[in-house]
Amino acid sequence: MHELAIAQDIMDTVLAERRSRRLGAVRAIYVTAAAMSCIQPEALKSAFELLAERSELEGVRLEIAKLPMVAICDRCGALFDPRAVAQVCPTCGEGRLNFSGETEIIIDSLEVEENA
């Protein structure tokens, strides 16, 4: 379950950022998972909650947006969602496709309380 390691990396990064910028308490973490990151959002949330217990991130919401995969036709170059059609290009009918999508998980933003 690589979600546990990813959750730990998210926590470490957020805590380091919070300390370096002297931010208030974190309320939510917003991340984007690329199409080919192979994470299961619910498993990542569960791993995060488990690791955050009894830490300064306990109770923090982890919000995950997942980017879609894109298919690219070898013949005509059309871009399309491969989940929406059979595994052929909807423009020209070609069956040879390439798939595009990054593998990273990016922390987009933090929701924090203002310092008093």
Which domains does the chain possess? 3-68+102-112 (3.30.2320.50)
Q: Tell me, what's the pLDDT at 50?
A: 97
Q: Tell me, what's the pLDDT at 101?
A: 74
- Among positive and negative, which fits the CA dihedral 91, 34, 103, 42? negative
Q: How many residues does the chain have?
A: 116
Note down pLDDT in tens along the chain; length 116 residues. 589 999 999 999 999 999 999 999 999 999 999 888 889 999 999 999 999 999 999 999 999 999 888 899 999 999 988 887 778 999 999 999 988 877 889 999 999 998 76
Q: Which amino acid is at 98?
A: N
**Residue entry with tokens 């059309």:** 78
Q: Tell me, what's the pLDDT at 116?
A: 61
How far is residue 27 from each of residues 58, 70, 74, 98, measured CA to CA in Å?
Answer: 9, 33, 45, 39
